[in-house]
Amino acid sequence: MAKLTFKTDECKGCGLCIEACPKGILRLSKDTINKKGHHPAECADPEACIACRSCATMCPDCIIKIEK
Amino acid sequence: MVVFDKPHALTDVPLHYCPGCTHGIVHRLVAEAIDELGIEGRTVGVAPVGCAVMAYDYFRCDMIEAAHGRAPAVATGVKRSDPEGLIVFTYQGDGDLASIGTAETVHAAARNENITVVFINNAIYGMTGGQMAPTSLPGQVTQTSPYGRDVTQCGYPVKICEMLSMLDGPEYLERVAVNNVKNVNKAKKAIKKAFQNQVDGKGFSLVEVISACPTNWGMTPSQALKWIDDNMIPYYPLGVYKDRSAGIIPGAKEAAK
């Protein structure tokens, strides 16, 4: 199973990872606000991740780490 | 097993760019190329004036900050001090490379200086607040062209790849974009090739990256990426403009007619 890790405090909530995800399982967290004052990206369904790297390819801040 | 992580050549300093700015993607692609070629210890980067002025904080290799537009001239000096040992790259925006630094860019290319130039074209001056750039599209609304760029008064955009491809000097010129996963992967290949050319001693390599500036374009990050597809790419077609080793030499073809 793939494991996605976000450096939540560095996320600027731009949402480019959400658009890039072919599975549509990423979203901006509604409940949390990070140090920068943004709603950070998170994975809604870790089980469905196929580790395709699309989110990490589009992330401008390089905050996503993917393990398999 | 780690499938994807931040490349070693990028430091842990958080990037100062606006949300959705694609500078970060291009920084990562440069760092990945440095990692994959194993040249971090002998690479020297030259930062521009513009949004990427603080690039020296983000790359783990040695960095120099050049005067506005003069990065290719500084890079020439560094490279000539140790042509065999050093790998030198510049990272410049359109206000830096295509405006105040046009002379340095053109002559570094004409001399076939063995350096790598990464050119970010986002059609606007980002750091100073969204003024019209030499690469702004005809009709594009900016702070200094509120009714759209009027080409009768301001002239036409500068197409750097097309312009330099007519010179005999440069080894490799390619225009890429970073507005979707497929284009980012192509951009990565181009940037890596530009560094590989320098390692192989082939000469001047420039990669023009069509990039987004959501803040100054007045769009959301995803609208900005779509705007690249709809407006930027039709005006600035992607592709290889010159690759001497692969036999793509438009200048020679024109001259032979």
Helix (H) or strand (E) holding B64: strand B62-65
Q: Report the 10 Å Cβ neighbour count for B86.
A: 19
Q: How far apart are CA B85 and CA B79, in angstroms?
A: 9
Query: Which residues on B lie below 8 Å from A53 (Cβ)?
Result: 3-4
Helix (H) or strand (E) holding A62: none
Region B20-25: mean pLDDT is 97
ipTM of the complex: 0.96
Q: Report the 10 Å Cβ neighbour count for B193.
A: 21
Q: What is the pLDDT of residues B31-43, one digit of tens each?
A: 999 999 999 999 9
Q: With CB atoms and an 8 Å threshold, state whether B184 touches A14.
A: no
Nearest-by-CA chain A residue for B215: A14
Q: How far is B182 from chain A (nearest CA, A)?
A: 9
Nearest to B14 by CA among A7, A29, A53: A7
Amino acid letter, residue B3: V
Contacts of B84 (CB under 8 A, 6+ apart): none
Residue pair B221/B211 in contact (Cβ under 8 Å)? The answer is no
Nearest-by-CA chain A residue for B188: A57
- Give the pLDDT of residue B252: 63
The dihedrals phi and psi of B38, each to the nearest 5 degrees, come to 65, 45
Q: What is the pLDDT of residues B50-98, one digit of tens each?
A: 999 999 999 999 999 999 999 999 999 999 999 999 999 999 999 999 9
Residue pair B92/B101 in contact (Cβ under 8 Å)? The answer is yes
Give contacts of B 26-65 with A, CB under 8 A.
Answer: 27-28
